[in-house]
Amino acid sequence: MNGGRDLDDLDRQIVVALQGDGRASWTSVAALCETSVPTVARRVQQLVADNLLKVAVLPNLGSTGPVETFFTRIGCRPGTQLDVAEQLVAREDVRWASLITGSYDIAIELVVNAGATRYPRTMLELQQIEGVQRWYSDLLLHVYKVSHNWYRQLLFDESAQAEVSLCAPDHLDKVDWAILDCLRNDGRASFKTVADTLGLNESTVRRRFERMITDGCASVFTIVPSSLLGLEAETLLWVTVEPAKLNEVASALALNPSVRYLGATLDGNALLCEVIADSTRGLFEFTTSTLAKLSGVVGWNASVELLTLKRGFVETPWWRDQWAEHHGTAVTLEQGEH
């Protein structure tokens, strides 16, 4: 699972530091981890080479106009999961994707333009993918929490913070988009490198980047497999709630550091809750000690996330290696920009 090598405490500290700021200087990371700059640089470069870590800078939702988000589960014909997964990962409108347990094989978060005809057209496109047999889709009405620093919260018991991004298309111009394009697959590229590529001044790139981050129009993502830090249980829970207590239950769950994502769905008075725990035992404690004791919770069903394919519109660098490792099948489609 970890590219054939074990991570030690220093590796984990470095990962956590980069989760806090994926563009932090080696000097800053070294100071936080109480080690040398060459050690930090060498270890991060090895994690990247092992396809276990990726830093990306991406525009936030709203930057291209109004959108709607649908959470979709897909059932595949036996033996076609890999082919279907590759086509889903390659789509720009798929923000998140994972292989899951249960009656469906793949779950995706689908972000579409808010135009009245866009979603039906997208749905038909996806349903025509060879191997897709069954389909269930639900509109996400409201997002209560999106936490990108889930493992930092778990390690240090920090209070969870919901991340709210506000952006509009007129906040970004062609130069901004060009900068983001340069940082999409290498979020740690220096401002000088970006400036040289685009023929701009380094100060211009730095100023524009900082403005986009401050205005909530872009975010820095540090993407790693949760198992890298010994967090083995990633689970999707559909929590059925008494309608009058939906917000009350959501407020309580949003404060829990194990909850990475929380949103209200249109169907079934339900909350979609993504939970990350250190083990199956930890997941059991969450369901029995947290969910079961919340007034208003009627019940839930769940799927374990077996392998995350995409997160934050970025293909996870490790999923192809792990698929080949566990299935003995080479994944030949080359990774690239999606």
228: which 2 tokens? 């890298």
Looking at the DSSP assignment, which residues form a beta bridge with residue 54?
A: 223
Q: Quick one: pLDDT band at residue 117, thresholds 50, 70, 90?
A: confident
Q: Which of 210, 172, 178 is nearest to 195 (CA)?
A: 178
Does the pTM of the predicted model rise above 0.95? Answer: no
- Which CATH fold topology does 1-50 show? Arc Repressor Mutant, subunit A (1.10.10)
Tokens of 32: 């936080």
Segments making up each domain of the chain, as ranges: 1-50, 67-159+225-327
Identify the CATH number of the domain defined by range 67-159+225-327.
Answer: 3.30.70.3460
- Please report which confidence band the pLDDT of residue 199 belongs to, taking 50, 70 and 90 as the band edges: very high
d(CA 100, CA 48): 26
Place 5 in a pLDDT band, splitting at 50, 70 and 90.
low
pLDDT at 116: 60
**Whether the predicted pLDDT of 131 surpasses 60:** yes
Burial 61-87 (b: 16+ CB within 10 A, else e): bbbeeebebbbbbbbbeeeebbbbbbb
Query: CA 46, CA 53: separation in Å to the nearest integer?
Result: 9
- Which helix (H) or strand (E) segment holds residue 156: the answer is helix 150-156
pLDDT of the residue at 158: 45
Distance of CA 194 to CAs 18, 175, 209, Å?
A: 20, 11, 11
Identify whether the C-beta of residue 112 lies closer than 8 Å to the C-beta of residue 119: yes
pLDDT > 70 fraction of the chain, expressed in percent and rounded: 88
Q: Quick one: pLDDT at residue 119?
A: 83
CA distance 111 to 69: 5
| Percent of the chain residues topping a pLDDT of 90 | 68
CB neighbours of residue 99 within 10 Å: 21
Residue 34 has what DSSP assignment? T
How does DSSP assign 181-224, residue by residue?
HHHSS-TT--HHHHHHHHT--HHHHHHHHHHHHHTTSEEEEEE-
Helix (H, G, I), strand (E, B) or coil at 311: strand
Residue 56 belongs to what H/E stretch?
strand 54-59
Under 8 Å between Cβ of 229 and 15: yes
pLDDT in tens, 231-288: 888 999 999 999 999 999 999 999 998 899 999 999 988 999 999 988 899 999 999 9
pLDDT value of residue 152: 47
Structure tokens at 93: 């409108």
Per-residue pLDDT tens over the stretch 307-334: 999 998 999 999 998 888 776 655 544 4
